Structure 1
Amino acid sequence: MTRLTFRGTADSMGVPRVYCDCEVCNEARLTGENRRYRSVLQIEDEELGQMWIDCGPDWGRQMEAAGVRAPERMLITHAHFDHIGGLVEWADACRWLEQRGDAYSPAEVINEINDRFPWVNRQIQFNKADDGLTFGGWQVQTWKVCHGKNGYSYAYRFDHQGTGRSWAYCSDAIALSEDELKPLYGLDLLILGTSFYEEPYPFETRSVYDVKEALVLLNDLRPARTVFTHMSHDIDLRRDYVLPEGVEFARTGMSIEL
């Protein structure tokens, strides 16, 4: 059994946004239904171990919510601050726990991390994931995806050799080419980033699919189940968006099982 828990479901600013008095941000402050930390996924699986995807600036609070002192290993999608801002805190935790962190990412992402935080590799071992990874029966594939005006990110696909189960995590992407889309076909579960319901800004200034665009994509990709994450304060979880069957928004702390 594989359990996936959404410890963070927000875009780069989180919800509430500190400067914002919109209805969603104010609700997040008052009752917390729309409160969202930066996007992070916790994986619990006998073969994968306790693996996390990304390590943003809310990492400490997310670990406290999970009741975990240190992850067994971590995958990193790209080197934007909302996805790596917690590495410094993780490295410090490793130092105090007298253990070494275990992280995996494509080589160019590791190089960016080392440029920005050159000291964290004293406590965290960064391993190249470009040629794929194997954990028990799980084969993990990573590939570069378009992140619009923000450059690039990487997505991860997980395939289990024994059961045939497959799922993928693609949090930061837009305008994917057919080659970039290929690993997203035929999944049991797709976790996809959608910042707005319908983003009003010029396409060339954007970096993540909106919900309406993602729903069009799903007509071709046809995963058995889809969960949207990486949501801005445009998404109000109190609202019924009339999503198709098998499609839903992630909520902070929500767990699903494969």
Structure 2
Amino acid sequence: MKVKFLGTGTSTGNPEIGCRCEVCTSNDKKDRRLRASVLIGVNGKRILIDCGPDFREQILGEEFTKIHGVLITHEHYDHVGGLDDLRPYCKLGDIEIYSNKIALDSLRARIPYCFNNHPYPGIPVLHLNEVASDKPFLIEGVEVLPINIIHYKLPIYGYRIQDFAYLTDVKHIPEEEYDKLKNLEVLVIDALRIKEHLSHENLEQALENIRRIAPQKAYLIHMSHQIGLHAEVQKDLPENVFLSYDGLELEF
């Protein structure tokens, strides 16, 4: 499996518009974060998790080959705002989108021109697939297991593929979902900032979940400028926990 972090930032991205803090003005490229998304290669298939407003910029440098499925965690704009930019990939085949009913209903309302009875030429051809959280499903032979997560009060999905799990926008993981997260090689998990937040884990809460889930390695995602400088924060993390950064590639 190969995983590339296309974006590792929160909804505003880093630098945040109008901010002159030490993170937003940092010269370290690891402090510059586009909106959160990963591209996974597994068993010859390519799977995208989330497709935010920076997708076009994120994907331009990647090989132009078929995307076999798009996993949507939830309907917030920073996770779905780039779906229209999938249209070039429709030359290689229709795009299959997977998520829960809440997210899919929101997509139908947000980009109705993709789903009306008489679509006009040139629009992205997207097929919405509602998937339940109580059993795995297949994307062209690749097994995907949804993980229920609570983002403030909104039920959203994380996803497990083989020994990799991706959990963004986490505030609470229901007790019964932890069994789905056993024996991970790599866990990617939300850690918005140092201070407590209404709808996201802070760094301390993310580390608590990492200790409980006990993956071999964990990578933090969806970070705001309030997380601090990449180089400084990394020094204080456990040896198996890492700040992700845009462009980071894993192979395992």
- TM-score range (shorter-chain normalised) is 0.7 to 0.9
1:7 aligns with 2:11: no
**Which residue identity does 2:7 align to in structure 1?**
G
Q: String of CA shifts for 1:164-186, please: whole Å, max 9, x gaps.
A: xx221101111323123332232
Runs ≥4 in structure 1, deviation > 6 angstroms? none
Distance in 2 (alpha carbons) for counterparts of 1:153 and 1:253: 25
Counterparts of 1:95-174 in structure 2 under 5 Å? 97=91, 99-121=93-115, 122=119, 123-130=125-132, 131-135=135-139, 138-148=142-152, 151-159=154-162, 166-174=163-171
TM-score, structure 1 normalization: 0.85
Distance in 2 (alpha carbons) for counterparts of 1:182 and 1:214: 17
Unaligned runs of 5+ in 2: 120-124
In structure 1, the partner of 2:20 is: 21
- The answer (yes or no) to whether the contact 1:158–1:168 under 8 Å persists in 2 is yes
Q: CA deviation at 1:68?
A: 3.1
Distance in 1 (alpha carbons) for counterparts of 2:159 and 2:104: 16
Q: CA deviation at 1:187?
A: 1.4
Question: Secondary structure of the equivalent of 2:148?
Answer: strand
Unaligned runs of 5+ in 1: 160-165
Distance in 2 (alpha carbons) for counterparts of 1:218 and 1:94: 35
Change (3 A) 1:176 1:35: same
Distance in 2 (alpha carbons) for counterparts of 1:249 and 1:237: 7
- The answer (yes or no) to whether the contact 2:219–2:243 under 8 Å persists in 1 is yes
Counterparts of 1:89-100 in structure 2 under 5 Å? 89-91=85-87, 93-94=88-89, 97=91, 99-100=93-94
In structure 2, the partner of 1:75 is: 71
Question: Secondary structure of the equivalent of 1:26?
Answer: coil
Distance in 2 (alpha carbons) for counterparts of 1:104 and 1:135: 9
Change (3 A) 1:61 1:67: farther
Q: CA deviation at 1:33?
A: 2.9
Distance in 2 (alpha carbons) for counterparts of 1:19 and 1:72: 38
**Which residue identity does 1:145 align to in structure 2?**
I
Question: Secondary structure of the equivalent of 2:60?
Answer: helix
TM-score, structure 2 normalization: 0.87
- The answer (yes or no) to whether the contact 1:87–1:120 under 8 Å persists in 2 is no
Change (3 A) 1:69 1:37: farther
